Amino acid sequence: MTDRQAPRAKDRPWLMRTYAGHSTAEASNALYRRNLAKGQTGLSVAFDLPTQTGYDPDHVLARGEVGRVGVPVSHLGDMRRLFRDIPLERTNTSMTINATAMWLLALYQVVAEEQGADPALLRGTTQNDIVKEYLSRGTHVFPPVPSLRLTTDMITYTVHHLPKWNPINICSYHLQEAGATPVQEIAYAMSTAIAVLDAVFASGRIPVERRGEVVGRISFFVNAGVRFVEEMCKMRAFSRVWDRITRERYGIEDAGHRRFRYGVQVNSLGLTEAQPENNVQRIVLEMLAVTLSRDARARAVQLPAWNEALGLPRPWDQQWSLRIQQVLADESDLLEYGDLFDGSRVVEEKVAGLVGEAFEEIGRIEEMGGALAAVESGYLKSRLVAAHAERRARIESGEERIVGVNCYESTEPSPLTADLDGAVMTVDPANEARVVAALVAWREARDGARAAAALAALRTAAASTDNLMAATVECARAGVTTGEWSSALREVFGEFRAPTGVGGAPLAVTAEAGTPLAAVRAKAARTAEELRVGRLRLLVGKPGLDGHSNGAEQIAVRARDAGFEVVYQGIRLTPEQIVAAAVAEDVHCVGLSILSGSHAALVPDVLGRLREAGAGDLPVIVGGIIPNADARALRAAGVAAVFTPKDFGITTIIGRIVDEIRTANRLEPLEVSV
């Protein structure tokens, strides 16, 4: 016997994906085909914000957003070009789409049929978790009840027509980015799953004997942070909670149907702009948390790129992330062994604790009437905002250490970022006009009568209790556009503005004498006194379609705690609405938060409208993922200050806001230590 025993047969590796899509369907198709040629084993489609929120590229809210954070898909022609020369019957495709998931699945099915594929053989996933959109991601469109109906209709349709498709990917990923603790991640995701399954089974469209098939096709999409042991235990706890719920609540006997099936993207929130080369080791550690534990191993993994805190990754950056997965799967011996953590008392105690606390929180949500009721009451959102505020406070105090950010900040010059503006991919600003022109041509060339009839049938179905999927598929075939499909449903269902959670968030940072927050409070109060107003007023605005509101919420909460009166109306506002609110509320500063890359178009629009309204002297600050060249251009256009992810000290930012208010009002600088 040698000292190296014969290994067991290797497990199959997980699906390897990169989250990709940009500019146009043609450009994204070329990227997908290159990635598949490099050994990627599944596609993960990123759609742009107009597509995610149900707007055509020529809508006023789509300005500056087209093709920025994903691919624009406005109609069947776009979907054909997106998957040209990619055989969908042999491809596993994940589509990150929620409010408009039914629409994109219909387009995908029709394109597959045009290729000659059997819909019964299509494999892939639509995310389709609308609850987390109300809480964190912000691409919701319709109110909770009709949104749940769309999800239910999709699930029941796929059981009968696309049996290998995962019709929902319940997503706790964005919950972690919004501040969720591991317990909250588990509890909120499972409460969403309960709401969905209860609605599906109550619909009467699934025979009792086929309930296991429904449960077996429910998948999850989770986040893995850098706290390796805790994250690995979280995955094991997820598995146990899901097994117990599906067995005890729904009576699912087949262990295969009860298996916790999840894909993962590791934590983009934890990537840093400062010393971004450190992101590589963060990504590796986070990947290990979801691959080392065989009994709770991810079924699919997509890794962010090292430079995502700087901007849009280039193809080479995505290749680097793919190679990280391939080295682990193909060069290491990980897949040759059973579960490495069986019998560990440390792991067992941690998992048991997470399971117990998660069921306690699930119970509280059930007492409120379930996940949808907890969304509508604002409970879930306020808990997430509070948890995020607490985490940010730990980072600012140094209690939670982030290498290169609040410790070990000295660094050698990095060749990776020697040319910061060239270290990320940029989208041609002229791309939007080309996409809009192509959309106009599509509308002119289609059979207008057939499209109108399909939309009329969709409205009729929406007003009834019919399954909406059949009418949606006909809309896809008839050449209806994304904005038209969504608009028809908006007419019937209405729209929804989710609670912001800001008002109910508790104080996260102490304001005792001698603390930085106390100094900023004193400076704000002194400035308000000199301006002869009760309190300084700050408008926090989210122009465009970017729904990542975490940063805006944290600024709003900390400004409130510093003594400001804060005007925050939530996401998805036009520049015109923001300026109207700034003038009506007579604010002293406007803060704009944009993470989608649309700052180059939207911020100058806000500045111009303020000048037209006679408020051109009002200081405007901007925060987001903004390349250096863009930041210089914004300051040259009149922006008072630009903040990016490297500016992690929120109290310091609030102090800077007070300084800008003083400068704009020609007050003497106030020397107060912050």
Which of 532-565 are b and which e, b meaning 16 or more Cβ less than 10 Å from the residue's Cβ?
Answer: eeebbbbbbbbbbbbbbbbbbbbbbbbbbbbbbb
Question: Of residues 48, 56, 78, 546, which has the active-site annotation?
Answer: 546
Q: Which residue has the higher pLDDT, 92 or 20?
A: 92
Q: For residues 457 and 479, what is the distance between their CA atoms, to the nearest angstrom?
A: 14
Question: Of residues 75, 523, 542, 588, which has the active-site annotation?
Answer: 542
The strand pair at 565-568 and 537-541 is best described as parallel
Question: What does the pLDDT look like over 50-74, one tens digit per residue?
Answer: 999 999 999 999 999 999 889 999 9
Q: Say how many CA atoms lie within 13 Å of 535 toward its Cβ.
A: 14
Known catalytic residue: 174? yes
Known catalytic residue: 173? yes
Contact (Cβ atoms closer than 8 angstroms) between residue 558 and residue 520: no
Question: Dmax of the chain from CA atoms?
Answer: 87
Q: What are the beta bridge partners of residue 224?
A: 266
Known catalytic residue: 548? yes
Is the pLDDT confidence value at 4 over 60? no
Q: For residues 653 and 649, what is the distance between their CA atoms, to the nearest angstrom?
A: 6
Known catalytic residue: 55? no
3-state SS, 2-16, equals CCCCCCCCCCCCCEE
Provide the H-helix boundaries in 115-261. Answer: 130-132, 144-161, 173-177, 182-202, 211-216, 228-248, 255-258
- What pLDDT is recorded for position 510? 63
Domains of the chain, by residue range, sit at 11-126+415-499, 178-308+335-406, 516-665
pLDDT class of 1 with cuts at 50, 70, 90: very low
Question: What does the pLDDT look like over 86-129, one tens digit per residue?
Answer: 999 999 999 999 999 999 999 999 999 999 999 999 999 999 99
Contact (Cβ atoms closer than 8 angstroms) between residue 537 and residue 575: no
Question: Of residues 174, 234, 523, 599, which has the active-site annotation?
Answer: 174
Residue among 353, 240, 355 nearest 296 (CA): 240
Question: What does the pLDDT look like over 486-520, one tens digit per residue?
Answer: 999 999 999 887 666 566 555 656 667 788 899 99
Known catalytic residue: 542? yes
CATH match of 516-665 with 1.20.1630.10: no
Residue among 57, 71, 91 nearest 29 (CA): 71
Question: Of residues 234, 350, 548, 588, which has the active-site annotation?
Answer: 548
Question: Of residues 173, 188, 262, 568, which has the active-site annotation?
Answer: 173
Question: Of residues 19, 32, 134, 157, which has the active-site annotation?
Answer: 19
Question: What does the pLDDT look like over 571-599, one tens digit per residue?
Answer: 888 999 999 999 999 999 999 999 888 89
- What pLDDT is recorded for position 238? 97
Q: Which residue has the higher pLDDT, 546 or 664?
A: 664
Q: For residues 267 and 269, what is the distance between their CA atoms, to the nearest angstrom?
A: 5
Measured between alpha carbons, how far apart are the two ends of the chain, in Å? 67
Q: What is 178-308+335-406's CATH number?
A: 3.20.20.240
Contact (Cβ atoms closer than 8 angstroms) between residue 584 and residue 613: no
Fold of the CATH domain 11-126+415-499: TIM Barrel (3.20.20)
Tokens of 354: 């997470």
Residue among 285, 323, 297 nearest 222 (CA): 297
Judge whether 11-126+415-499 and 516-665 match in fold: no
Cβ-proximal residues to 674 (8 Å cutoff; 6+ apart), any chain: 516, 519, 520, 523, 651, 652, 655
